[in-house]
Amino acid sequence: MITVTFKPGGESGRVEPGQTVLEVAHELDVPITAPCGGRGRCGRCRVIVANGCEEPTQAERDLLTGEELRNGFRLACEAVLMGDAQIIVPSDSRTVGGKILSEDTWRHLELSPNVTSRCLELPEPSLADQRSDAERVADGLGVPVADLHIDHAALAEMPGVLRANKFAVTAVMVGDTLAAVRAPHTEPCCLGAAVDIGTTTVVAYLVDLRSGERLATASDLNPQARHGHDLISRIEYVESTTTGLDDMRRLIVDLINRLLGEAVAQVDARRRDIYELTVVGNTCMHHLFLGLDPRNLARAPYIPVTTQPMVLSAEEAGLAINRAGSVYCLPVIAGFVGADTVGVLLVSRMTERERPTLAIDIGTNGEVMLWSGERLLVASCAAGPAFEGGEISNGVRAANGAIERVWLRNGTIGYATIGGVRPNGICGSGIFDIVAALLDSGAADSGGRLADASAAEKLAEGIASRLRGEGSTREFVVAPGGDNGSGEIVFTQKDVREVQLAKGAVRAAVELLCAEAGIGTDEIDEILLAGAFGNYIDRRSALRMGLLPDLPPERIQGVGNAAGAGALAALVSTAQRRYAAELARRAEHIELMANPRFQMAFADSMIFPD
């Protein structure tokens, strides 16, 4: 065994030699970012190791400079530990909890939950009334005892609870199952939870099912990201490892149980007070949560195991809620259009509008939804991680120090960071603003090319002085560093190209859906932006980039975490569950890659507006 210590956190442990730094970090719960899933491709998991490692691998020699290797830099996913070691994890290699969107457009709905409670005042037994306890409760509920399914734990507790409360009790029903018999006026009586499993973040909402009131929220980063930030990397992990599917499922189930624990602690309740859970997520997240093989989602023709709503017991789902509780997963539509999209459709009420409406949920995998006034069309597009800071040279998640706002003023660039501290990178909303500022200032042209030296001579001094390098190494200095250049934040020519690819994919999806519906983009009445991007990006920056059709900004609305709101709606209303299933059946999935016009639309959509 060897001793490994991580700095600055101080995590330390005795581990088996022969493991990579990243594997040991996972074992000791040290958060190290690994966007490529630890495959030695991205070079983002840089750490400093003084000793204890085998010689650098070829991947490390390719991705690290000679000076970096001499200074002890290694890739956590490649460096194999053979002896005692102290490892420094730089700030830009740490995975940190960021600004996670947990607000939503949750609106009041008529309550009709699957979980109900009834107060019963039952006659006490006597020699003249020798009905069993179960029959007595069933009669109080107005149900023949032969037709009432009673959970074993509820049946075991029934005699004591009835007699301790002189036969005045509260009965909790989950569907047609008697889940609990409790003392009257017990608080909380019956709780439910709605969970939005995102590729990047997971949000859990705790709800009082009698009133529909949202009581608490808990959220965290999806721990599956240790095996890759994108869906394909996670599916590759499932394929390459015999325990891959079980590993992925355990990670997400353990996180949900922890979030539920945090949520009930906020209201002084217990997880056993939760009787039902509703779940949304993209199709891959849906499959991994359910333990369904996701491998066919990654290869044409991208077939899911099932698209139907799924109902599981708490035990089947592995969730630490009331043992009689149930778990309801909303339906999915196609291989890359999941239950999260159904949630957006459900709460946005797109199909109830008279005019064409577009909804976009932008993430690593983007979903585009179009209501033409007659047809509901949906498509997915591989936007990639650029909009979330991935594949961007100084890209970071939205946390303290991330540049989240950039503006052009008086011939130069200004910026603001989350927390108002020194910048350590650029997050998604800042990326949108930077590209818009580069275009408006002339530092980048409509083809995405940064101005060369001769073109820069015509620009304002405050812009021209920030451009440097030649050709593919051209870059724009967003935030100057110290005297030795440390802490400098740049946006490179490659970064511009990554944004072009991402925005081209989304805009091409919009164009092709409109063409399929037989309408022009100028006929769209309103655009709804779901998720974090809808709340945090500057709509004018999105328009300047050409990500969205050219509508007045006031007709572009952020609708918050609409996917999570859809899970909430399904939690408090069985009618909404039926409506969600109807929307999933009604939606027409358009496979973009099968469309012969996709490549042309994609190429056209990469161009920035003049």
Over pLDDT 70: what percentage of the chain?
Answer: 97
If you write DSSP's letter for every residue of 220-244 in order, what string do you get? Answer: EE-GGGGG-SSHHHHHHHHHH-TTH
What residue ranges define each of the domains in the chain, with the CATH number in brackets?
2-93 (3.10.20.30), 115-182 (3.10.20.880), 191-329 (3.30.420.480), 339-385+499-605 (3.30.420), 404-489 (no CATH)
| pLDDT reading at 18 higher than 90 | yes
Residue 431 pLDDT level (bands cut at 50, 70, 90):
very high
The model's pLDDT over 576-599, given as tens digits with 9 standing for 90+, comes to 999 999 999 999 999 998 888 989
Q: Is the pLDDT of residue 542 over 80?
A: yes
pLDDT value, residue 543: 94
Tally Cβ neighbours within 10 Å of residue 579.
Answer: 18
Q: In whole angstroms, what is the distance from residue 538 CA to residue 486 CA?
A: 29
Q: What is the pTM of this model?
A: 0.88
Strands 168-174 vs 115-121: parallel, antiparallel or unpaired: antiparallel
pLDDT at 106 over 70: no
For residue 139, pLDDT over 60 is answered with yes
Per-residue pLDDT, averaged over 243-269, amounts to: 96
Please identify which residue in the block is written with the tokens 């999570």.
Answer: 564
pLDDT tens sequence across 461-500: 999 999 999 988 999 999 998 665 568 999 999 999 999 9
Tell whether the model's pLDDT for residue 96 goes beyond 80: no
For residue 52, pLDDT beyond 60: yes
3-state secondary structure 250-292: HHHHHHHHHHHHHHHHHCCCCHHHEEEEEEEECHHHHHHHHCC
Helix or strand run (H / E) with residue 430: helix 428-441
- Burial, 533: exposed, middle or buried (Cβ in 10 Å; 0-12, 13-18, 19+)? buried
Write down the pLDDT at residue 140: 94
Q: Which of 89-98, 263-272, 378-387, 528-537 has the highest average model confidence (pLDDT)?
A: 263-272
Q: What is the pLDDT of residues 338-386, one digit of tens each?
A: 999 999 999 999 999 999 999 999 877 789 999 999 999 999 988 777 7
Task: Spell out the residues 6+ positions from residue 126 whose beta carbon is closer than 8 angstroms to its own.
Answer: none
pLDDT at 100 over 70: no
Residue 575: closest CA among 214, 114, 104, 108: 114
Pair 360, 367: CB distance under 8 Å: yes
| Distance in angstroms (rounded) separating the CA atoms of residues 293 and 519 | 38
Q: Which among 190, 205, 114 is positioned nearest to 572, based on CA atoms?
A: 114
| Mean pLDDT computed over every residue of the chain | 91
What pLDDT is stored for residue 99 in this prediction? Answer: 66
Predicted confidence at residue 97, as pLDDT, reads 61
Residues 6+ apart with CB under 8 A from 117: 170, 171, 172, 173, 189, 190, 210
Tens-digit pLDDT profile for residues 286-338: 999 999 999 999 998 999 999 999 999 999 999 999 999 999 999 999 999 99
CB 546 within 8 A of CB 423: no
